[in-house]
Amino acid sequence: MQKMNIMKNSGEFKKRILDNSFYFILGVVLILIFFNSLFRYFNHDEFEAIHSSWKMLNGETIYIDFFQHHHPFSYYLMIPIIKIFGETLFTILFLRIIAYLLFLLLLLITYNLAILLFDDKKIGLISLIFLSSSTFFFNKAIEIRPDILQVLFGLLAIYFFIIQLKGNSSKYTVLSALSLGLSFLFLQKAVFLILCILFFQLIRLYKNKTTFKQIFIYWIFFIFTLTPYLLYLLHNGYFSNYVLYNWIINMKFTKSFYFFFYGLLESFKMNTLLWSFFLIGLIFSQKYIFKEFCLLSLMLLLSLFLIKAPYPQYYMLFFPLMAIIAGFGVIKVINKKIAIIAIILISTVLPGFRLCENLKFNTNVNQLEKIKYVLSKTNGNDYVYDGNILFNIFNKDIDFFWFSVRPKTGALAAYKTLFEYNYDIYKLIDKHKPKIISNYYIKNMNNETISKNYHPSDKYEDIFIRND
């Protein structure tokens, strides 16, 4: 009897260890991602977002006074933070911490979405480990960018949409529509999810699984969410600029698709098990709503092949869905818990190395030092020419096109395919007399405007400081 009790206790202890292994693996990955959030290098887009907010805080109007090709609402949300903490390095790092908290919210929504579909906590936990180990996802999810809020509200829209499909509730119809509207307001990439949801509604209407009234209510509330911003644009005469810079210019970018497809191949290499079990999950999808969920994931993935330049952040809405389907795939074909844990552990090895590698070789120390250096040489009234958003975060710019001035592939080049635009860097420098200039796409640094008025920095070879 005593021997049986010992065996029983031993079995329970072993089961508890195995159950807690999921939490342990997830916890380790999340800690590594947190340190990456603080110390990994900053992406060009992050400085673009912070500087856009700073410009708006200082009275500049987006699309009118400065170029921007994204929706502005995430920039509005950052304004109070910049105002409170000031033009400091701490502000930049604090925004990264907020991005990490939003990343955790994305994980929470993904977990609840998995529970909604399968009512299985194990699938939910596996989905979280898969998602947080996806290099494409975590590299972008911890960055200061509008994509995070677009994806967050997009996932909420999907979550409420599935509840509405299960229960035909008007309450969740409204919540899904409002979430979808907010997702679009944060970034226009939500248009792909908008088209997907409309497609599913029409299919379900055709099959008598929903009503025209339900669809009508959905899109009325969606339009209601967008109306205030639309009226603001129309009232102030900004609508044509909004369309030009958010839609037309974006479609005019001439980047090659091959480079970004190569990035997707890198995801296959780093997250082979995730992609493998995603495929298995698709094959074994049987329930009607889960089939629709699988189809939605494929539609979101395939829609990106229509884009000239699908940067990694374009895949962010796809990966939570993929992780859930992959989590289902694991449970579907593997029964032993120890085998599941082994697969999950293996799936985190390469991404874990990448996270550690970032902390050693790809830190943000040099970037922050450069920004601090520029701040030490300037005051609030000084102009700065950066051109590539490497160091000018809290100073005025010398032109409407303050970044993306590459001669063939930048926003300025895209604009010039539509309109004449006189961009003379030497005249701009002579007019505004920026305190600091970069040599970014300045062909002749010996031009008198530069050679007579600027001297090289003693610390950075790409920075030149005004003599007076």
Q: How confident is the model at residue 4, as a pLDDT?
A: 53
The parent domain of residue 12 ranges over 2-361
Higher pLDDT, 18 or 5: 18
* 343 & 399 share domain: no
Q: How confident is the model at residue 255, as a pLDDT?
A: 55
Last residue of a domain, one of 338, 361, 384: 361
* 173 & 319 share domain: yes
Average pLDDT of 374-393? 95
* 216 & 76 share domain: yes
Q: How confident is the model at residue 5, as a pLDDT?
A: 54
Average pLDDT of 358-381? 96
* 135 & 277 share domain: yes
Number of domains in the chain: 2
* 415 & 281 share domain: no
Counting every residue written for the chain, the total comes to 468
Q: How confident is the model at residue 239, as a pLDDT?
A: 98
Q: How confident is the model at residue 17, as a pLDDT?
A: 81
**Looking up tokens 């005593």, which residue turns up?**
2
Last residue of a domain, one of 361, 388, 410: 361
Last residue of a domain, one of 334, 361, 388: 361
* 67 & 158 share domain: yes
Kindly tell me if the per-residue pLDDT of 8 is higher than 70.
no
Q: How confident is the model at residue 36, as a pLDDT?
A: 98
* 207 & 88 share domain: yes
Average pLDDT of 234-251? 96
Q: Report strand pairing: 384-385 vs 463-466.
A: unpaired
Question: What's the order of all strands across the beta sheet hosting 463-466?
Answer: 384-385, 436-438, 463-466, 454-456
